[in-house]
Structure 1
Amino acid sequence: MTIFASSTVGTVTFANDASEQIDQSIKNSFNDIQSAVFSDPYDALPKYKVTKKLFGKSGDHPDNHVLRAARRSMTSTADLFDFPLGQKVFQPNGICFAGHWLIESDSEYTGLFEEGTRVPVIARASVALGGTLQKHKRAFGMAVKLFPHPNPDLPVKTANLFVMNSLGGVKTQHVLDLSMDNAPALGALPPMNKWGTMLRLQRDFAKADRELSGDDSEIAYRPVDALANINSRNGNALETVYSPTWVRLSIDKHIPKMDQDDFRNELRVNQYPEEKLVWHIDVAAGEISNKKQARWQRIGRLELTSSITSKTCDQRLHFQHPLGQ
């Protein structure tokens, strides 16, 4: 059983492993979360490693740390969480951003996909396991936390988007060459010495997903219905919801490529023109198994205008994973 309590430091509410209840009413403002994420930058980039020593016991043992983390990631709405292991279990090395989610084209989709939407975001780009360098097979992805109200000082319940390029990772000189979506392909297999680690992670995350989503859920697919169900002007739930099946992010072709060995250095926004990174937002609908036949529609941009590598980014920032379908 995953256990949480909520507490408050200043005006920021976060969770910890101290109570038997999960507070589903946790709200924070964009400005407060941005302040926390940018408050404790590293002096040098850390090299967090994912090893089986972190995982604890296997199966249904109460000290199965991976299974507890998987359950928490799908149930806790906290934006900040003090991770009990001192790092994320699956994607510990990341870089965080602040910016905006902008929808500029009309479509049939509702909520945060509706034309005219402009809301602030906190995003975290990361790679699975510990390989951060160009020589590694990097399973690159991004979590985007959207604050569904134009007022950055207003506490709101956030919505979270998860996209990856591939589950197993690929070798590439620039991670900006990689498009990401919410139904990533398998990609390359991890290095031989990481197979046991990856299989354990996949097994426990799949178990948690089946417990909460049902036996037939697609483990690799993360639905985006929650984004379509929120009024971007007041944060309220909508009565009528039309959601795309897939969301894809791809970098704008005018963004130059920076030859940095570690992806975190590659993505520092202050080295780019106008100190900005821009990903296009494409959406499509269809049967989950037919992504290859998707008819993509470009509806907007994700603009990230500041970046940080920090302890809070890696050790406290929490994104609720949507349940599978």
Structure 2
Amino acid sequence: MTDELTGPEQFTDEDRRYSGSRFRDVVDALFANPYQTVWGREGEPPLPDREQTIKSVFGGLLARGRSSRFEGASARTLDSAADLRWGSDRKGFARFLHPTGVCLVGRWQITEDTPYSGYFRRASKALVVARYSSGGGGNRRGRIRSLALVGKLFPTMDPDHHMPLRTANFITQQDIGGERSDSINAAELRNAPDVTVFRRGPAGTLLIKVASVFRRVDAEPTIRQLYPIAELGKAGDEPTRAPAFMRLLVAPEQPVIAGEDLDVRDEVMAQIFDRGDPVPKRTLTFTIDVTDDGDTSGTPFRVRRTFRNWRRIGSLVFDNAVVSHNGDAVIHFAHPTWRQDRDDPATATRLNKVKVR
């Protein structure tokens, strides 16, 4: 991974100028440069693979300069709300973590009564752009990997809404140390995943270094709170009421895509498309479960979380997808800074791009 591909990582004028995005502009950007013009068609080039290693993220075990660059990138994901980060050459920047993935387009819908605010309220509907990716052991089935789904909600159901809209982002993932899941159907994605550092073997050193950087720029490196969604579209004087935990599961009616050593990007695409046919044929649905009842135990190297009283409140339904350069290098998903009280903005760890707690 070259310097040209990875920088600049810090907060820039492009981030500073952000005032919202049009859904259509973001989708058009994702579909502008697919790696395969038609997914799975004979003669198309293979999808690119990029490893995550101590060297690619930090420049080596003892390197210093790259560590500060990764720290700048970590702070920027907390401070920048930008949906697209183009860079001066309009090619974006390669990710340090989860460098390859597949982007999805669809809708968020809450169908059940809830005590929460914003787009967790019943009857809430939003357009969604999401990215499914794999961290750790690569993209292939049968290996230790950490599957993840991140997304951004646009507070509209009009794909051609003409005004830029500020989005709300969510982050969900399997065990950060990885799991050996047979398919995306078997993966449990949560905003508060378990952590098994040494499940990756020697590569666990990378997780330890990453966690140390995350703690320097924020407070809690393994939980991504849900208040951005609970604050989307609500009146300024209305109190925030966000669930503590969210779980996304592939809906039980979705088929399991067969194939040994299957790339997760191909697996996701096959849920929606037939190989070699550019027209979407099906949808991919995830159920949305929430709870406020959970506990954390263990050590920093082996974090275990237990939950009770999950409630199914809605679904994410995706009807299009693409594997593209802009999906790997341009789209940006803001990470929420930790709040001591998830419903109180005044308790945020970072304020005005500075860690204050």
TM over 0.5: yes
1:232-311 equivalence runs, <5 A: 237=236, 239-260=238-259, 261-268=262-269, 269-271=272-274, 275-286=282-293, 289=296, 292-311=306-325
Counterpart secondary structure, 1:160: strand
Alpha-carbon distance in structure 2 between the residues aligned to 1:185 and 1:63: 25
The one of 125, 148, 155 equivalent to 1:148 is 155
Q: By how many angstroms is 1:175 displaced? A: 2.2
Deviations 1:255-284 (A, max 9, x none): 010024111111112149951011111111
Q: Indicate the percent of aligned positions where both proteins have the same amino acid.
A: 26
Residue in 1 that maps onto 2:27: 34
Deviations 1:86-128 (A, max 9, x none): 4110110100000000111111111111111111000001111
CA gap of 1:3–1:111, structure 2 versus 1, over 3 A, is: closer
CA gap of 1:62–1:140, structure 2 versus 1, over 3 A, is: closer
CA gap of 1:173–1:107, structure 2 versus 1, over 3 A, is: same
Alpha-carbon distance in structure 2 between the residues aligned to 1:3 and 1:191: 31
Is the aligned partner of 1:180 residue 2:177?
no
Alpha-carbon distance in structure 2 between the residues aligned to 1:189 and 1:118: 40
Alpha-carbon distance in structure 2 between the residues aligned to 1:204 and 1:271: 42
Q: By how many angstroms is 1:238 displaced? A: 5.7
Residue in 2 that maps onto 1:161: 170
Residue in 2 that maps onto 1:4: 12
Query: What code does the residue aligned with 1:219 have?
Result: P
Alpha-carbon distance in structure 2 between the residues aligned to 1:236 and 1:307: 33
Deviations 1:1-35 (A, max 9, x none): 933012xxxxxxxx4xxxxxx34x42101111011
1:75-224 equivalence runs, <5 A: 75-82=79-86, 86-129=93-136, 131-152=138-159, 153=161, 154-187=163-196, 189-209=198-218, 217-224=219-226
Contact 2:197 2:208 (8 Å CA) reproduced: no
Alpha-carbon distance in structure 2 between the residues aligned to 1:86 and 1:223: 26
- Long gaps (5+) in structure 1: 7-14, 16-21, 210-216
Counterpart secondary structure, 1:128: strand
Residue in 2 that maps onto 1:12: none
Alpha-carbon distance in structure 2 between the residues aligned to 1:206 and 1:85: 26
Alpha-carbon distance in structure 2 between the residues aligned to 1:196 and 1:185: 17
Query: What code does the residue aligned with 1:150 have?
Result: M
Counterpart secondary structure, 1:92: coil
Alpha-carbon distance in structure 2 between the residues aligned to 1:155 and 1:237: 19
Contact 2:224 2:335 (8 Å CA) reproduced: yes
Residue in 2 that maps onto 1:49: 51
CA gap of 1:190–1:131, structure 2 versus 1, over 3 A, is: farther
Point out the more displaced range, 73-82 or 273-282.
273-282
Query: What code does the residue aligned with 2:268 have?
Result: L
Q: By how many angstroms is 1:310 displaced? A: 0.2
Alpha-carbon distance in structure 2 between the residues aligned to 1:271 and 1:303: 18
Residue in 1 that maps onto 2:352: none
Residue in 1 that maps onto 2:348: none
Contact 2:10 2:69 (8 Å CA) reproduced: no
Contact 2:105 2:130 (8 Å CA) reproduced: yes
Deviations 1:232-255 (A, max 9, x none): xxx764622211101111111110
Alpha-carbon distance in structure 2 between the residues aligned to 1:52 and 1:293: 33
Q: By how many angstroms is 1:156 displaced? A: 0.5
Query: What code does the residue aligned with 2:129 have?
Result: I
Query: What code does the residue aligned with 1:5 have?
Result: D
Contact 1:104 1:299 (8 Å CA) reproduced: yes
Point out the more displaced range, 171-180 or 117-126.
171-180
Is the aligned partner of 1:74 residue 2:78?
yes
TM-score, normalised by the number of residues in structure 2: 0.77
Q: By how many angstroms is 1:61 displaced? A: 5.3
Contact 2:167 2:232 (8 Å CA) reproduced: no
Point out the more displaced range, 32-41 or 285-294.
285-294
Q: By how many angstroms is 1:62 displaced? A: 8.2
Counterpart secondary structure, 1:301: strand
Alpha-carbon distance in structure 2 between the residues aligned to 1:293 and 1:91: 26
Alpha-carbon distance in structure 1 between the residues aligned to 2:118 and 2:92: 36
Q: By how many angstroms is 1:202 displaced? A: 2.0
CA gap of 1:187–1:53, structure 2 versus 1, over 3 A, is: closer
The one of 322, 331, 334 equivalent to 1:317 is 331
